[in-house]
Amino acid sequence: MNHTRLLIIGSGPAGYTAGIYAGRANLSPTLLEGFQPGGQLTITTEVENFPGWPDGVDANELMDNMRRQAERFGTKMLPNAATQVDLGIRPFHVTLDDGSEWTADSIIIATGASAKYLGLSDEQKFMGRGVSACATCDGFFYRKKVVAVVGGGDTACEEASYLAGLASKVYLIVRKPFLRASKIMQERVMGNEKIEVLFETNTLGLYGENGVEGAHLVYRKGESDERKYDLPIDGFFLAIGHHPNSELFAPWLQRDENGYIVTEGDTPCTAVPGVYAAGDVADPKYRQAVIAAGSGAKAAMEAEKFLSEK
Identity of the residue, 180 or 255, whose beta carbon is nearer to ligand NDP in the bound complex: 180
Is there a catalytic annotation at residue 134?
Answer: yes
Q: What is the dihedral of CA 258, 253, 11, 166, to 10 degrees?
A: -10
- Look up 138 and say whether it is catalytic: yes
Write the CA distances from 207 to 11, 100, 129, 220, 270, integer angstroms.
37, 44, 11, 21, 46
Residue 246 contacts residue 159 (beta carbons within 8 Å): no
**By the 8 A CB rule, do 13 and 289 touch?**
yes
Rounded to whole angstroms, the Cα distance separating 93 from 123 reads 36
Select the residue interacting with ligand NDP from 240, 278, 282, 292 (CB under 6 A). 240
Binding range to ligand NDP, per CB under 6 A, among 22-30, 130-138, 149-157, 204-212:
149-157
In the complex with ligand NDP, the residue whose CB is nearer, 11 or 203, is 203
Cα(175)–Cα(138) distance, rounded to whole angstroms?
Answer: 24
Tell me which stretch binds ligand NDP (CB under 6 A): 101-109, 147-155, 161-169, 244-252: 147-155
CB of 202 to ligand NDP, least distance (A): 6
Question: Does residue 154 belong to the site contacting ligand NDP (CB under 6 A)?
Answer: yes
Give the β-pairing of 131-132 and 235-238: parallel
Least distance in angstroms from the C-beta of 295 to ligand NDP: 15
241 binds ligand NDP (CB under 6 A): yes
Q: Is 157 a catalytic residue?
A: no
Residues at the interface with ligand NDP (CB under 6 A): 48-49, 118, 150-156, 158, 175-176, 180, 240-241, 287
